[in-house]
């Protein structure tokens, strides 16, 4: 644990940042792909996950050459399938797959958080440089509030196991343990939000990324121990739920303001597919989802679109056409109505990983469900593109989807 003086100095520095972040002059990187980000006609993207070594790196402690080979293969596959964008998970928790002054090197790279890869290799920098050669955008995918990953049965709540320079070690008063077995930055603490924003600014300042991308994790589902924080900051709000949504609103607004300072860069979010069910909110979709972002994650994604706080939204509509509780077509129609006239682009998140999984239903067993969904999007004429999860199903050509999706995008 850093001593109290170090923590005090760090907090003063962060508070100084908090005052100046939205008004500071912006040092730009090269224009490059940022200009392309705003002009793409059809988004054809894929998520590349680093958490748990899902996609990259395939395992910890690879050599620099092995990491380069894996990143090259990802780009080659993207190019072969006629994809034009990669959403690269650069901060899966409070650690980094890039050379950061704020967050320690990720343990998913070397097996030890805070330990740099050999030759101080920067995966994000390399992926950007190689992506530009192929005309493929690289978006920086961030999980804003998660500090650790774990489960209720296998919790990961020991803050002392983190690198000494991890923000959770420097600012332990911002940390909330959750019943999911994970540690979170407390979204109700202004310092948490400013820390996330500082990380966004660092990425925009030092890397020629196409944009900033948040996933679907804001407040965790279930109870969250922030009653004391609500007492401290919640005056004027009728409920803790409204206050929580306000906290996430601020993060989205301020991230949007930061990204807007950099010409061509875009900002978007990929929330869970259902904002709210119609049975719980009259403005919601005709669905019966178990998770509603408005109520479970305190993420008012509909409001963000209506207020123009995003350049795009990419709901994860991970169900098939005709699903009994969450019909893909019903949700595409609902999101199309939400985005209509707002100037916010609509990208659909597709569940490539369900292809060939018999437990997901017979429609995922013919290798054509993704194609049916792409065709539906194009027929609607209100969808601006697609992003696919996960890469392994595409790479392995499960039921031929490497070939068939690539043909759809020719």
Fold classification of 4-20+43-408 is TIM Barrel (3.20.20)
Whether 8 shows a pLDDT value over 70: the answer reads no
DSSP string covering 104-163, please? PBPHHHHSSTTPPPGGG--HHHHHHHHHHHHT-EEEEEE-SSB-----SSS----GGGS-
Determine what percent of the chain falls in helix, strand and coil, rounding each to the nearest 5. 45, 15, 45
- Residue 242 and residue 408: Cα distance in Å, rounded? 43
- The mean per-residue pLDDT over the stretch 229-233 comes to 98
Whether 393 shows a pLDDT value over 60: the answer reads yes
**Closest by CA position to 101, among listed 185, 195, 182, 214:** 195
**Closest by CA position to 242, among listed 177, 180, 165, 300:** 300
Whether 252 shows a pLDDT value over 60: the answer reads yes
- Residue 259 and residue 266: Cα distance in Å, rounded? 6
- The mean per-residue pLDDT over the stretch 330-348 comes to 98
8 A C-beta contact, residue 185 and residue 147: yes
Find tokens 């999007």 and name the residue: 377
Whether 13 shows a pLDDT value over 70: the answer reads no
**Which of 28-32, 202-206, 272-276, 329-333 is predicted with the least confidence, judged by mean pLDDT?**
28-32
pLDDT of 262-308, one tens digit each?
999 999 999 999 999 999 999 999 999 999 999 999 999 999 999 99
Q: First and final CA of the chain: distance in angstroms? A: 54
pLDDT of 163-202, one tens digit each?
999 999 999 999 999 999 999 999 999 999 999 999 999 9
Token pair listed for 145: 């509030």
Q: What pLDDT, on the 0 to 100 scale, is given for residue 229? A: 98
Q: What pLDDT, on the 0 to 100 scale, is given for residue 40? A: 62
Q: What pLDDT, on the 0 to 100 scale, is given for residue 41? A: 82
8 A C-beta contact, residue 224 and residue 248: no
Token pair listed for 280: 């719980």
Number of residues in the chain:
410
Whether 34 shows a pLDDT value over 60: the answer reads no
Token pair listed for 333: 């129609």
Going by pLDDT thresholds of 50, 70 and 90, the confidence category of residue 16 is very low
DSSP 51: G
DSSP string covering 211-238, please? EEEE-S-SSPSS--S-HHHHHHH-TT-S
**Could you tell me the CA-to-CA distances from 313 to 18, 66, 268 in Å, in that order?**
27, 34, 5
pLDDT of 121-172, one tens digit each?
999 999 999 999 999 999 999 999 999 999 999 999 999 999 999 999 999 9
What sign for the dihedral angle of Cα 7, 123, 198, 391? negative
Going by pLDDT thresholds of 50, 70 and 90, the confidence category of residue 1 is very low
Q: What kind and span of H or E run contains 252?
A: helix 240-260
Chain-centroid distance, C-alpha 33:
20
Find tokens 């350049």 and name the residue: 311
The domain spans of the chain are 4-20+43-408
């Amino acid at each position: 644990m850093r001593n109290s003086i170090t923590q005090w100095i760090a907090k003063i520095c962060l508070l100084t940042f908090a005052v100046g972040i939205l008004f500071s002059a912006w040092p730009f990187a090269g224009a490059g792909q940022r200009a392309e980000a705003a002009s793409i006609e059809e988004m054809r993207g894929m998520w590349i996950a680093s958490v748990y070594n899902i996609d990259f790196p395939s395992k910890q402690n690879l050599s620099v050459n092995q990491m380069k080979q894996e990143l090259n293969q990802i780009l080659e596959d993207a190019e072969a399938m006629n994809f034009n964008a990669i959403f690269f998970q650069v901060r899966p928790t409070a650690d980094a797959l890039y050379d950061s002054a704020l967050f320690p090197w990720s343990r998913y790279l070397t097996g030890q958080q805070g330990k740099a890869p050999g030759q101080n290799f920067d995966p994000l920098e390399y992926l950007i440089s190689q992506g530009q050669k192929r005309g493929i955008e690289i978006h920086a995918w961030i999980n804003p509030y998660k500090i650790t990953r774990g489960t209720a049965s296998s919790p990961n709540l020991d803050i002392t196991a983190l690198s000494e320079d991890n923000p959770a070690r420097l600012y332990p008063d911002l940390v909330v343990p959750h019943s999911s077995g994970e540690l979170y930055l407390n979204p109700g603490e202004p310092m948490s939000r400013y820390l996330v924003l500082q990380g966004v600014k660092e990425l925009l300042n030092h890397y020629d990324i196409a944009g900033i991308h948040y996933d679907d994790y804001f407040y965790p589902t279930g109870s969250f121990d922030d009653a004391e924080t609500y007492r401290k900051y919640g005056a004027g709000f009728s409920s803790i739920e409204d206050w929580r949504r306000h906290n996430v609103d601020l993060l989205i607004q301020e991230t949007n303001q930061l990204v807007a300072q950099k010409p061509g860069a875009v900002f978007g979010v990929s929330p869970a597919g259902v904002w709210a069910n119609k049975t719980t909110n009259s403005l919601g979709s005709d669905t019966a989802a178990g998770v509603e972002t408005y109520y479970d994650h305190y993420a008012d994604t509909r409001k963000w679109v209506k207020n123009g706080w995003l350049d795009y939204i990419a709901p994860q509509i991970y169900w098939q056409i005709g699903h009994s509780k969450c019909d893909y077509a019903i949700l595409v129609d609902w999101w199309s109505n939400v985005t209509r006239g707002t100037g916010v682009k609509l990208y659909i998140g597709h569940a490539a990983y369900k292809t060939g999984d018999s437990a997901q239903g017979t429609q995922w067993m013919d290798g054509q469900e993704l194609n049916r969904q792409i065709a539906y999007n194009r027929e609607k004429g209100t969808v601006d593109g697609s992003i696919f999860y996960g890469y392994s199903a595409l790479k392995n050509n499960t039921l031929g989807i490497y070939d068939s999706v690539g043909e759809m995008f020719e």
